Amino acid sequence: MLRRCARWARSIFTDAATVDAESVSVPKLGTAKERRAARYANRPESTSHALYKVVAASAPITFGDLRSIVNKANEEDPGTPLMKIASGKKLKLFIDVLKRQHKVWTLRPAPTPECKHPRFVYHTGKGLHKPVPKQTAQGADS
């Protein structure tokens, strides 16, 4: 083992001495953002991100409506990342992933006269919070 280490150390110094510094070219890859973009350029979209886009496009949405949208998308184009969602159990699993990532939340809608026990509604939180107008000095005096 010691002999192997000594041979390795000798090879570093002898091989490196023959290489000329100008002949070695190290490719410049750009900034970290460019390297990351190049790394992720060829990757397929994840199933959870595809499901998030579906929820964001049609929120607020019930579980049944979401399942019908996913099934219709799978019938139209079987190559989508949503193809992994073949059952309600899988859909629930991917919704739970999005809930853990704090991308999707559930709301219990208010009961209506025709539906006393409404289902959960999924939403992304966008557009639900309206900014409160700031009071001006004039409004505070009156």
Structural domains of the chain, ranges and CATH numbers in brackets: 47-123 (1.10.10)
Calpha distance 122→62 (Å, rounded): 6
Both tokens of 47, joined, read 């199933």
Whether the per-residue pLDDT at 142 is higher than 50: the answer is no
Each residue's pLDDT tens digit, 118-132: 667 777 776 555 555
Query: CB-based contacts of 88: which residues, under 8 Å, 6+ apart?
Result: 63, 67
Each residue's pLDDT tens digit, 64-119: 889 999 999 999 988 889 999 989 999 999 999 999 998 888 877 666 677 666 66
Average pLDDT (21-29) is 65
Whether the per-residue pLDDT at 56 is higher than 60: the answer is yes
Mean pLDDT of the chain: 78
Calpha distance 62→68 (Å, rounded): 10
